[in-house]
Structure 1
Amino acid sequence: MAKNWDELEALQPTVLKMLKNSILKGRVAHAYLYEGMKGTGKKEVGFLLAKSIFCMEPGEGFKPCEACVNCKRINNGNHPDIHFVEPDGLSIKKAQIQELQEEFSKTGVESRKKLYMIMHADRMTNNAANSLLKFLEEPHAGTVAILMTEQAQQILPTILSRCQIIGFKPLSPKNMIKKLLDHGVNPQKAPLLAQLTNNWEEALELNENDWFAQAQKIVVKLYEVLKKSPLEAMVTLQENWFLHFKEKEQIDRGLDLLLLIFKDLLYIQLGKQDQIVYLGESSRLEQYALQTSGRRLTEQMAAILEAKRKLHANMNPQLLMEELVLKLQEGSSLV
Structure 2
Amino acid sequence: MAISELQPELFARFSQVLKHNKLHHAFLFSGGFGAMEMAIWLAQSRFCSDLKNRLPCGQCRECRLVAANDFTDLHLVSPDGQTIKTQQIRDLLLTFSQSGFETNRQVVIIDGAEKLHVNAANALLKSIEEPESEIYIFLLTASENMVLETIKSRAQVITFPSQSQFIQNYLEQKGTLKTDASIISEVVTSLPEAEELAADKVFLESVKQLDKFTKALASNADDALLQIMQLAPLFKDKRLQGLSFNILAIFFVKRRQPKWAQNVFTAQKYWRANVNFQASLEKIILG
TM-score (normalizing by structure 1)? 0.59
Matched AA of 1:233: M
Q: What's 1:100 paired with?
A: 92
Query: CA 1:135–1:205 in 2, change beyond 3 Å: closer, same or farther?
Result: farther
- RMSD between aligned alpha carbons? 4.8
Matched AA of 2:129: E
Contact 1:233 1:325 in 2 (8 A): no
Tell whether 2:195 aligns with 1:203. Answer: no
1:115 to 107, 122, 136: 107
Give distance in 2, aligned partners of 1:256 and 1:20.
40
Give distance in 2, aligned partners of 1:155 and 1:199.
28
Give distance in 1, aligned partners of 2:245 and 2:155.
38
Matched AA of 1:26: N
Contact 1:172 1:198 in 2 (8 A): no
Q: CA deviation at 1:111?
A: 0.9
Q: Please list every run of 5 or more consecutive structure 2 residues that lacks an aligned counterpart in the other structure.
A: 195-202, 214-222, 268-278
Q: What's 2:159 paired with?
A: 167
SS at match of 2:103: coil
Tell whether 2:220 aligns with 1:233. Answer: no
Q: What's 1:309 paired with?
A: 258
Q: Please list every run of 5 or more consecutive structure 1 residues that lacks an aligned counterpart in the other structure.
A: 182-187, 208-215, 260-302, 327-335
Matched AA of 1:317: T
Q: CA deviation at 1:67?
A: 1.9
Name which of structure 1's ranges 98-107 and 70-79 shifts more when overlaid on structure 2: 98-107
Contact 1:173 1:195 in 2 (8 A): no
- What is the aligned-residue identity percentage? 27
Q: What's 1:87 paired with?
A: 79
Contact 2:25 2:137 in 1 (8 A): yes
1:149 to 141, 144, 155: 141
Contact 1:137 1:162 in 2 (8 A): yes
Q: What's 1:285 paired with?
A: none
Contact 2:96 2:133 in 1 (8 A): no
Offset from partner CA, 1:203-262 (integer Å, 9 cap, x none): 36978xxxxxxxx7xx78x96xx899749739969xx9xxx989xxx88514158x5xxx
Matched AA of 2:48: C
Query: CA 1:90–1:325 in 2, change beyond 3 Å: closer, same or farther?
Result: same
Q: What's 1:262 paired with?
A: none
TM-score (normalizing by structure 2)? 0.68
Query: CA 1:98–1:311 in 2, change beyond 3 Å: closer, same or farther?
Result: farther
Give distance in 2, aligned partners of 1:163 and 1:305.
35
Q: CA deviation at 1:150?
A: 1.6
Matched AA of 1:23: L
Contact 1:120 1:147 in 2 (8 A): yes
Paired residues, number: 255
